[in-house]
Structure formats: structure tokens, C-alpha cells
């Protein structure tokens, strides 16, 4: 099963336990909005909170490109505050796990 398929399954099942083995121990998420980064523990905490809320929805989730070194995915996300964003995520892969993620998000009208 591809890494994208595993991510998609975890999101569809809203099961953060399925995500834990997908992230490398040295994982880093780059937050361009604030100029900060998250490590694996912080990222999994954020995702667990998001998956626990029915108000967070991932729509039109699709793989743009995937190989052994990179995964590029796109989706439209709905958030509890009523906002919606088109999100493009680029994941750098190492040893079959996500090592680094950078995203670009565009606010959308509902």
C-alpha cells in the first residue's frame, strides 16, 4: 500500500493510531504562517485533535505525485471555525516514512 493510501485510510477512518508509523522519528512540519516548526509528537497531537472533531473535514483528497522520495497531495479542508482552505502538502520521504512536510494553503469561500 502506498504512503498516500495509508494517509488517506487514516483520515477516512479518523484514526490517528494509523498515522504514528507513517512519521519518521526526526519528523519536522514547517509552519509558514508563523515561521515555526512542529516535531513528530506535536504534529501527531494536532492531527489527533483534528480527527476528534467532526467539524474538520478533508474533501477531494488526491495524490498529485508519489515516489520513494516525495509525496505531493492536495485536498480541501473544512475547519471548526467555519473556514475552508485548499491545501497542497509536500512530504519528503526517508526510509518509507514522512521526514518533513511543508504546506501551502489558500483560503476559500464556502
| Residue 18 belongs to domain with CATH number | 3.10.450.50
Is residue 11 predicted with pLDDT exceeding 80? yes
3-class DSSP state for residue 106?
strand
> Which residue range forms the structural domain that includes residue 82?
3-108
Is residue 50 predicted with pLDDT exceeding 90? no
Average pLDDT score over the chain: 93
Q: How many domains does the chain have?
A: 1
| C-alpha angle 52-57-62 in degrees, rounded to nearest 5 | 125
Longest dimension (CA), the chain: 39
Q: Is 59 exposed, middle or buried (0-12, 13-18, 19+ CB in 10 A)?
A: exposed
Grid coordinates given for 70: 516525495
Taking only the tens place, the pLDDT of each residue in 59-68 is 999 999 999 9
pLDDT tier at 110 (50, 70, 90 boundaries)? confident
* H helical segments located in the chain: 3-13, 40-52
Give the global pTM.
0.91
pLDDT tier at 98 (50, 70, 90 boundaries)? very high
Amino acid at each position: 500500500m502506498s504512503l498516500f493510501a495509508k494517509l488517506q485510510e487514516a483520515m477516512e477512518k479518523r484514526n490517528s493510531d494509523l498515522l504514528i508509523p507513517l512519521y519518521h522519528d526526526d519528523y519536522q512540519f514547517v509552519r509558514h504562517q508563523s515561521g515555526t516548526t512542529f516535531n513528530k509528537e506535536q504534529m501527531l497531537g494536532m492531527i489527533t485533535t483534528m480527527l476528534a472533531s467532526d467539524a474538520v473535514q478533508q474533501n477531494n483528497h488526491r495524490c498529485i505525485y508519489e515516489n520513494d522520495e516525495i509525496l505531493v497531495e492536495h485536498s480541501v479542508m473544512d475547519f471548526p471555525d467555519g473556514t475552508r482552505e485548499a491545501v497542497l502538502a509536500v512530504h519528503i520521504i526517508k526510509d518509507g516514512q514522512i521526514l518533513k512536510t511543508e504546506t501551502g494553503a489558500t483560503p476559500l469561500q464556502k
